[in-house]
Amino acid sequence: MSIPSIPLLGRDLTASIVVFLVAMPLCMGIAIASGVPAEKGLITGIIGGLVVGALAGSPLQVSGPAAGLAVIVYELVRDQGLSALGPILVVAGAVQVAAGVFRLGGWFKAISPAVVHGMLAGIGVLIVVGQFHVLFDHRPLPSGLQNLAAMPGRVLGLSSDLKVTEFAFAIGLSTIVAMIAWEKLRPAALRLMPGALVGVLAGTAVSLIFGLEVARVQVPDSIVAAVAPPTGTAFARLLDPSVIAAAVAIAFIASAETLLSAAAVDKMHNGVRTDYNKELRAQGVGNLLCGFAGALPMTGVIVRSSANVQAGAATRLSAILHGVWILGFVAALPFVLTLIPMAALGAILVVTGFRLVSVKHATHLFRDYGALPVLIWAATLIMVVSTDLLTGVLVGIGLTMLELIPNLHRLRLRVYEGKEEDTHAITLDGTATFVTLPKLSETLDRVPAGTPVRIDATKLDAVDHTSAEMLRDWLSRRRAAGHPVTITGARGRIATLDGDQH
């Protein structure tokens, strides 16, 4: 890793502090939502910064525990026990490393955006209905549907006889109000101060000022004491097919979420583009280490990553330093964390989960691609909430196959490249679907920066919404960077995409 210049070092230092302030409450909140002690999330955040930050294929992406895996981890810990999590993560990490080594990163981009956003929306619903009960100092129930059904009873159970439940709920509401109000009203000079931190500080202050007796975060005096390597007996659980299936599911979902986040981060800056296979290898190493440390699984996380970019980060040093700050804080000031009410962290996760349910994305799909992608999005969401994460994703992928039916007679896509004077010429012949997306994506990513591009779509018969979304993002990036792109012979969705850019 090259050492950045002094001006870039200053930008990375400032950004790392912002990301640290965003990451701390989320690391603990996601751990608690996953049914494990708060320190497990902090360990994952440290590894995500120090190790994955140094190895990542997306230099400005920040890795750590993700809300998107909280639901599946909660169910694993509930059904298999905390001791099974370490071996599962070791296998999941090994699968990710292998996927990166065998250059399978491009195939994750072929997963329909409707499936990915439907999965995230379903996770968001599960987080909201689960953490809603934490607002009342109660533990979430075993399933999303049970949590949903019990929500009215929690509200109706409030009374004027102020006890722990009412105190916790008041702290949770204070946290949510402070977080949202700060994000809407914060002065420009403090725009980098994260709302989640302000919310936690407000909830903690309310609890301390009024001396409220509520459940608070528990962390060990030493972060080293929280490291719990799996035993040989725990590794023997890998003989259970359900444990292996859980490891593969975590590897798949973590990889999809990571690469979705990396693609979003690429849209936010004009620097180095993501090397998807390198990013997969880095995430795999991170999850291997999390498994051996007995911590939570990690992914690239869009909330922390966007904060990193917005704070002016220039290199991967920012992500690394944020891990240093987490380690330093939990090593030197663990007693500060024990002042935080559980209801305040639950409130942060309620807001985070709510924001994962992007109805705006569903309306975008309907406007640009019709009813089928919205059906895929909705079916994935419903199945994630009513059954489990993996079933929901598989149902979504299965429904995506319906887009192939009109084009079964011609699923091939031929891609030709050539030079025409100073222009990079690309000719597309056939049908662009998620099946052929890795080939098309690799071709587009090979185009040299600054080179004018002409895409001949005269012989392009059809484009599914997954490929259309990828082309939309690629066109946006090229044109935002001032690199001209011309599309000839465009029809249907491609003509719409080309028109959107002018």
Amino acid letter at 453? V
Angle at 245 between CA 240 and CA 249, to 5 degrees: 150
pLDDT at 377: 96
Which residues lie closer than 8 Å to 473 by C-beta, 6 or more apart? 263, 267
- The CATH number for 413-500, chosen from 3.10.300.10, 3.30.70.2660, 3.30.465.10, 3.30.750.24, is 3.30.750.24
> CA 45 to CA 51: how far, in whole Å?
10
Q: How many other β-carbons are positioned within 10 Å of the β-carbon of residue 176?
A: 21
* pLDDT tens-digit map of 90-118: 999 999 999 999 999 888 878 888 998 89
- Alpha carbons 498 and 484: distance in angstroms, whole number: 12
How do the domains of the chain map onto residue ranges? 7-342, 359-407, 413-500
> What is the model's pLDDT at position 3?
56
Show the low-confidence residues of the chain (pLDDT under 50).
501-502
| Alpha-helical runs (H) found in 269-370 | 276-293, 302-310, 317-332, 334-337, 342-356, 359-369
Q: List, in sequence order, every residue forming a beta bridge with 417; answer none if it has no partner.
A: 426
- Helix (H) or strand (E) holding 165, with range, is helix 164-185
pLDDT per residue as tens digits for the range 296-338: 999 999 889 988 998 889 999 999 999 999 999 999 999 999 9
**Confidence (pLDDT) at 502:** 45
Within 10 A of 128 (CB to CB), how many other CB atoms are there?
A: 22
Which helix or strand (DSSP H or E) is residue 64 part of? strand 63-64
| Model confidence, pTM | 0.85
Location of structure tokens 């590894």: 47
Spatial contact of 297 and 86, defined as CB atoms under 8 Å apart: no
